[in-house]
């Protein structure tokens, strides 16, 4: 067992995009849109957190290889009932980068939750409507050798 040996695989361009969603209360979404979140701009903080997480995936998921990423991009869309997040990663590597994209989007969503949790709690301190869902690989691609 252990890590997959990728020694003999060629270094090629690889990219992946992952997405997910956090469901939030309408009042929370209005405060985000108005720039009224106590901890600051949740999108900026979640973007940095997601980028850092993607770059450190090998420290979080034991069987992942350490892959130097060429780019990490995090994007957010406010939708009627929450925020949709996406993480795009690209590298020249011997193995895929979909785990990096998944970790990046997951940490971005967790960071959004942390930034607004004081608004999402009910009287008992619970989160009855807050949900992270639909975390998935949207697409992954790999180029040809020397691409």
The structural domains of the chain, with segments of one domain joined by +, span: 12-142
Collect all residues with Cβ–Cβ distance below 8 Å to 123 and sequence separation of at least 6.
none
In this structure, are residues 108 and 115 in contact, taking their beta carbons and an 8 Å threshold? no
User: Can you give the C-alpha Rg of the chain in angstroms?
Assistant: 17
Look up the CATH number of domain 12-142.
3.30.70.640
Q: Which of 5, 114, 122, 147 is catalytic?
A: 114
For 79-125, what is each residue's pLDDT tens digit?
999 999 999 999 999 988 999 999 999 999 999 999 999 999 999 99
C-alpha distance from residue 52 to each of 9, 35, 69 (Å): 27, 24, 11
Q: pTM (2 decimals)?
A: 0.94
Measured distance CA(8)–CA(121) in Å, rounded: 51
Residue 145 binned pLDDT confidence (cut-offs 50, 70, 90):
low
The yes-or-no answer on residue 80 being catalytic is no
DSSP label at residue 112 = H
């Amino acid at each position: 067992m252990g890590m997959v040996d990728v020694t003999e695989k060629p270094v090629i361009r690889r990219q992946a995009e992952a997405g997910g969603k956090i469901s939030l209360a309408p009042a929370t979404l209005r405060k985000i849109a108005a720039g009224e979140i106590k901890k600051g701009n949740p999108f900026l903080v979640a973007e940095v957190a997601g980028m850092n997480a993607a770059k450190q995936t090998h420290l979080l998921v034991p069987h992942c290889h350490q892959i130097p990423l060429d780019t990490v991009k995090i994007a957010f869309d406010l939708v009627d009932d929450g925020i949709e997040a996406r993480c795009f990663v690209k590298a020249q590597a011997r193995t895929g980068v979909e785990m990096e994209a998944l970790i990046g989007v997951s940490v971005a969503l967790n960071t959004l939750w942390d930034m607004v949790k004081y608004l999402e709690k009910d009287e008992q301190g619970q989160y009855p409507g807050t949900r992270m869902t639909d975390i998935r690989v949207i697409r992954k691609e790999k180029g040809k050798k020397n691409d």
